Amino acid sequence: MTSKKSVSGSPKYVRTLWKIFAGLWVAIILFFLLLSLGWLGFMPSFEELENPRSLQASEVLSDDGQTLGYIGLENRSNVTYDQISPNLVNALIATEDVRFYRHSGIDPRSLGRVFFKTIIGRKGSSGGGSTITQQLAKNLFPREHKSKLGTVFSKFKEWVVAVKLEHNYSKQEIIAMYFNTVDFGSNAYGVKTASKTFFDKAPSELDVHEAAVLVGLLKAPSTYNPVRHPDNALDRRNTVLYQMHRYDYLSDDDYEKYKAMPIDMSRYSLQTHNDGTATYLREYLRTYMKDWCKHHRKPNGEYYNVHKDGLKIYTTIDSRMQRYAEQAVREHFSKEIQPAFERELKNRKGNPFCDISKEQEEKFLTQAMKNSDRYRALKAAGMSQKDIRSAFNEKVNMRVFSWKGTRDTVMSPWDSLIYCKKFLNAGLMSVEPGTGYVRAYVGGINYRYFKYDNVQSHRQVGSTFKPFVYTMALQDLGMYPCTEVPNSEVCFEVWGQPDWCPKNSSHEREGEMVTLKWALAHSINWVSAYLMKQGSPEQVVNIARKMGVRSPIDVVPAIAVGTPEITVYEMAAAMATFANKGEYVEPLFVTRIEDSKGMVLERFTPKRSQALNEVTAYMMLELMKGVVQSGTGVRLNYKYGLNKYSTAIAGKTGTTQNNSDCWFVGITPKLATAVWTGGELRSIHFRNMTYGQGAAMALPIFGHYMKRIYEDPSIKFYRGDFERPSVPVEMDCSNFQQEVEKEDFEWDF
């Protein structure tokens, strides 16, 4: 009987086991089917898999193809597979998924290893089971659940998504997508930003040991950061190199060579909105692009978002010129101007303000307090004005700017406001005549700590306004560079007030007849006033308007000596008009905007208008060349040696009352530059002319800047002369003949 039951019972038992086994498979298949269909929670659609969305910052590119920075919530910009170094690909596969090319998204062998060694054998060092494709699935569609059961459920979803990704994309595309989505730490999202941040290179340029550092970061970006934890980073890099050697991506000799190399972080630079190249320009473009996005829609009808849609903004900036401009400001201020100002401040008991009352100081500092992030945060928290003021008097740990690097200190926020006011600042913009391309843009000394853009701000221009006056004399009054005028005092009747009589800064050749060229070279106020009296303020303002000056200008005789407040932007564009044969070209910052896939969304061209006749423009250049050859700008030659490179340099210095605003405008045939220097407020300045003048504060920046440009063989900067007018004109004052009469020409404006 027993034997019978056993024999007869066996088939029933086996059938039950088979039913259970089959039921499990049906349940598993049904589970994954429902999961794939999205019935058990979110599952990306076919369209989402075809066009996976990740937050991509808009990339700001220079005219010479360099990345200037990003505008976005995450510093991320995508690359294609052919833009990735094979060293990166090899390092990733050897470290993360050596069977990548032999599976279809899920690697059963790796899963088996995890099950038997990690789960059953409890060996945490046996490695993970996620393939590169699974990791990509997790990056593209992050896990929704945090519990253990939820994590398992999310893992199953990643399997399904990984298989779908393998079905929709090639292996190369998956590698590129993976590198575009991973976080390397240091505000570097994606391999393009990471390569720039850690090694100042493109992903295609990375050497083996550099690629190993970046791939090593993927395990734990903070723990293996080569700047914060160099020892950890070195160990992790060598682990990656070992994996590359183990799987035959490196020979024995190469492995030993790269393993012995130190990690060089000398080119490390955070790619944040506050740091990097052209920070002030990027902020200007961020505002511009936000407005542009409000008027441009994507194919799906949504408005573009400059922070998320990965737009490519192609600018007119030359990255080399931009770098030289920033270096020139830094060199002049850190080595000469700021140390000199600090020496003077010692005699003023550290007070940066000159000749103002305590009440005015309090007013300025209170306004600065209200402009600070700290004030806004305290106000948002509900604190009263009195309590906020008290909080600003309490000492706290903070980081402050210094020319030797960021400094950790203990200081009250109120004292930090005074501290910041002690730093003199600058603004510079260069425009290419003819095209209007803005080649360099420096809005200040450090964007992180001084966010006010001095290129766009209105500053009193002083004698740099005189070229507009002399242009009026040449074009409207029929004068020439060698026309002689009296260097005598000139007064203007001012209704209801004493007569206004400007003063000269020196007594040289007073009472003599002097040429216009000599007078402009030496910035003689009496001659400017004389010219104004022969013409009118209305005529000068009209010329300035035609040359692109849009700032308010009082139509009064005092503009002859530079009372208007004009921006660096306007002055650079106006000066470029002289080098462009009298044609004004509106400055252009952006040439085109593309979407994340490279489709051109809009192209830009500058607006143009004829402001002056070409003879007047050329004669003004000759007048302003005299400033550099023998006038207030002569140190460009004897100190900076620019005449070794070219004699075609025109310019004009400018200094306002009390040495508050110091200017220099410099013009070459292919570049016009305006430089402003001074304090944040007009009450912050040098007390004397040793440093408190345009020739000492602003001109040297132009000197350092242009010298670097001329000496850079990659720029091949033009060294020839300005283009002459299409008609003959005599410019030599030693043999001056007025061969060309003004009425001989007809100009159509």
Confidence of residue 739 (pLDDT cuts 50, 70, 90): very low
* Measured distance CA(282)–CA(64) in Å, rounded: 16
Both structure tokens of 172: 């190369």
- 8 A C-beta contact, residue 699 and residue 690: no
Residue 226 pLDDT: 92
Question: How many Å apart are CA 561 and CA 656, to the nearest integer?
Answer: 9
Helix axes 132-140, 86-96, angle to 10 degrees: 100
Confirm whether 479 is domain-assigned. Answer: yes
Share of the chain above pLDDT 90, in %: 70
**Count of residues in the chain:** 749
- Are 20 and 142 members of one domain? no
Q: What is the structure's pLDDT at 148? A: 53
Same domain, 33 and 107: no
Kindly state whether residue 52 falls inside one of the protein's structural domains: no
Could you tell me if 565 and 458 are in contact, meaning their C-beta atoms sit under 8 angstroms apart?
Answer: yes
Is residue 33 domain-shared with residue 164, that is, in the same domain? Answer: no
| Side chain identity at residue 482, one-letter code | C
CB 157, CB 198: distance < 8 Å = no
pLDDT in tens, 382-396: 999 999 999 999 999
Residue 373 lies in a domain: no
Q: pLDDT above 70 covers what percent of the chain? A: 86
pLDDT band for 56, please (50, 70, 90 cuts).
confident
- How would you classify the pairing of strands 425-431 and 600-603? unpaired
Segment 489-515 mean pLDDT:
89
Pairing of β 608-610 and β 590-594: unpaired
Q: Could you tell me the CATH number of the domain that includes residue 683?
A: 3.40.710.10
β-strand pairing of 312-315 with 58-61? parallel
Classify residue 210: in a domain, yes or no.
Answer: yes
> In this structure, are residues 228 and 157 in contact, taking their beta carbons and an 8 Å threshold?
no
Pairing relation of β-strands 565-566 and 600-603? unpaired
Of residues 220 and 106, more confidence is placed in: 220
Question: Does 4 have pLDDT greater than 50?
Answer: no
State residue 467's pLDDT score.
98
- The secondary structure of residue 276, as a DSSP letter, is S
Q: What is the dihedral of CA 98, 102, 104, 105, to 10 degrees?
A: 0
- Phi and psi angles of residue 740, each rounded to the nearest 5 degrees, phi first: -115, 115
What would the pLDDT profile of 121-154 be if each residue is shown by its tens digit?
445 444 456 888 888 878 776 555 555 544 555 6
pLDDT score at 162 = 76
The H or E element that residue 134 is part of is helix 132-140
584-628 confidence digits (pLDDT tens): 999 999 999 999 889 999 999 999 999 999 999 999 999 999 999
Do residues 211 and 112 both lie within one domain? Answer: yes
Tally the domains of the chain. 3
Residue 282 within a domain:
no
What confidence score (pLDDT) does residue 38 get? 53
Pair 557, 473 in one domain: yes
What's the token pair of residue 209? 């040991």
Residues 242 and 95 in one domain: yes
Please determine, for residue 18, whether its predicted confidence score (pLDDT) is greater than 90: no
Tell how strand 438-442 and strand 407-411 pair up.
unpaired
Both structure tokens of 473 = 């004399």
249 part of a folded domain: yes
What are the distances in angstroms from CA 694 to CA 233, 516, 543, 665? 49, 21, 24, 10
Question: Please, are residues 242 and 123 in contact by the beta-carbon 8 Å criterion?
Answer: no
pLDDT in the model for residue 533: 95
Per-residue pLDDT band at 111 (split at 50, 70, 90): low
Query: Is the same domain home to 35 and 168?
Result: no
Question: Are 37 and 183 found together in one domain?
Answer: no
If you average pLDDT over every residue of the chain, what do you get? 87
Q: Is position 439 within any domain? A: yes
From its phi and psi, is residue 65 left (phi > 0), alpha (psi between -120 and 50) or beta?
left
Q: Do residues 620 and 548 share a domain?
A: yes
| Confidence band, pLDDT 50/70/90 cuts, at residue 468 | very high
Residues 173 and 35 in one domain: no
- Determine the pLDDT at residue 589: 98
Residue 46 — pLDDT band, cuts 50, 70, 90? very low
* Residue-wise pLDDT tens digits, 289-335: 999 999 999 998 999 999 889 999 999 999 999 999 999 999 999 99
Using DSSP's 3-state secondary structure scheme, residue 75 falls into: coil
Question: Which residue in 377, 482, 456 sits closest to 738, CA to CA?
Answer: 482
Tokens of 719: 């060294």
Burial class of residue 500 (count of CB atoms within 10 Å of its CB; 0-12, 13-18, 19+): middle
**What average pLDDT does range 93-107 have in this prediction?**
84
pLDDT band at 741 (very low <50, low <70, confident <90, very high): very low
* The domain boundary residue, chosen from 7, 31, 46: 46
Torsion, Cα of 630, 631, 632, 636 (10° steps): -30
Give the residue ranges of DSSP H helices in 537-677.
537-546, 568-579, 614-630, 635-638
Based on the domain organization, do 87 and 37 belong to the same domain? no
Q: Is 562 left (phi over 0), alpha (psi -120 to 50) or beta?
A: left
Of the candidates 700, 706, 636, 624, which has an alpha carbon nearest to the alpha carbon of residue 662?
Answer: 700
399 within domain boundaries: no
Segment (H or E) for 427 = strand 425-431
What the block records as the tokens of 303 is 């408005």
Domain with 82, as residue range(s), is 76-271
Paired with 425 in beta bridges are 678
End-of-domain residue from the set 226, 244, 271: 271
Same domain, 39 and 128: no
pLDDT digits (tens, 9 = 90+) for 676-697: 999 999 999 999 999 999 999 9
Q: Once rounded to an integer, what is the mean pLDDT over residues 516-533?
A: 96
Q: Are strands 396-400 and 407-411 parallel, antiparallel or unpaired?
A: antiparallel
User: Greater confidence, 447 or 157?
Assistant: 447
- Residue 565 in contact with residue 551, Cβ under 8 Å? yes
